[in-house]
Amino acid sequence: MFVCLGAGSERMRKTMTSSALCSALVVAACLMSTWVVVISSQQVMKLKTRDSDGAPVCAQDQPSRRATILAKMSNAPAAVGCSMTCSADYQCQHFNYVQTDSLHPCHLYYYRPTEFHVQQDCIHFQAFGEQFTNMPMS
């Protein structure tokens, strides 16, 4: 274990042979921490489509919660905003983006919906991320 206390530190001179090595280790630790945070927060969304023709489908089951798009995502495409809204809710496993529901366009599901239909104003996504690694993929 390396200890970096400061450029004039007696302890550092005894522990480290050069401040450059200490700086390199600090930078490497910061980069590794950033990389771990980015990897652990990745969220992947899968568009659900009809097998016969690839048309996007919409879940017809009752959503667990209807939500607005997060304010910090207001400039993003609406489906991306719903994706981030789902990501921010640790229970969210699936969501519909309903274009015509201007008040609550994100319909979040804390379970796997079973009933799907093609609907012009709606698309459905399944969330995959670190918290959903045990969820079967279909």
Least confident residue range of 13-17, 74-78, 80-84, 110-114: 13-17
d(CA 126, CA 95): 7
Q: Which of 1, 34, 2 is nearest to 20 (CA)?
A: 2
pLDDT, mean over the chain: 73
Domain 43-132 sits in CATH at 3.50.4.10
Q: Any residues with CB less than 8 A from the CB of 40 and at least 6 apart, and which? A: 130
33-66 per-position pLDDT tens digit: 333 333 344 557 788 888 899 999 999 999 999 9
d(CA 65, CA 55): 25
CA neighbours closer than 13 Å in the CB half-sphere of residue 132 = 24
Q: Which residue has the higher pLDDT, 5 or 78?
A: 78
Question: What pLDDT does 112 receive?
Answer: 95
